[in-house]
Structure 1
Amino acid sequence: MSKIKPKTKGCRTFDEILDVEYGTQGTPERDAFEQGAVAFILAERLKEERLKAGLTQEQLAERIGTKKTYISRIENGKADVQLSTLFRIFQGLGKQVKLTIL
């Protein structure tokens, strides 16, 4: 069973916990956290789709003309990925990426 940290004990929403742990929206700490969260979600989605396609990292890399180590680094959140590369990766998985700007 996880214990609630004393500083977040009175928080009622997830946003309040984020405010306490990483600062309010717009602060450098919160921005860094949110960028990391987006990268993590993208990496997990890439890995999920690759596994659904029944491909190894090496097979995907060969399919799109890159190295296995690059795919691994992206999936582990250790590499930034250019938008054009992201499109190529998902195209190699038989998927399409749509970009939404909010």
Structure 2
Amino acid sequence: MELKEIDKNLYSVDDWMDEKFGKVGTPEREEFRKEAYAYCVGQIISDARKQEKVTQSELAKRVGTNKSYISKIENGVIEPGVGLFLRIIDALGLKFDIVKPII
């Protein structure tokens, strides 16, 4: 894979993403975006759970699901629905804010 050199030792990540996952808006790029978001959400939950010293089983019990489902979320295999996500956040003592971006 040839990356476009912008300046000495600087390359275009956009070009690499386009080549590897397709242009923005293509089904391939959208699938990659969904997988990346699921992975990031899972890592946030996993890190917070470990910081609170809570097992997957205990978290599952707190939010009304099972350990296997929590594992799948943490590994980015699935994304929790909004309701479950908010219950997980609450069970881990976290706060979720919705704010307008500053442009």
Q: TM-score, normalised by structure 2?
A: 0.83
Match of 2:57 in 1: 58
Q: Deviations over 1:72-92 (max 9, x none)?
A: 111112223110100000100
Give the structure with the higher percent strand: 2
Consecutive unaligned residues in structure 2, runs of 5 or more:
6-10
CA contact (8 A) 2:22 2:29 kept: yes
Identity value in percent: 32
Of the structure 1 ranges 39-48 and 73-82, higher mean CA displacement relative to structure 2 is found in: 73-82
Q: RMSD between aligned alpha carbons?
A: 1.7
Q: TM-score, normalised by structure 1?
A: 0.84
Is the alpha carbon distance of 1:27 and 1:101 closer, same or farther for their aligned partners in structure 2, counting shifts above 3 Å? farther
Consecutive unaligned residues in structure 1, runs of 5 or more:
1-6
Task: List structure 1 segments (4+ residues) > 6 angstroms apart after TM superposition.
Answer: none
Q: Which structure exhibits the higher relative contact order, with contacts defined as CA atoms closer than 8 Å and separated by 6 or more residues?
A: 2
CA contact (8 A) 2:38 2:77 kept: no
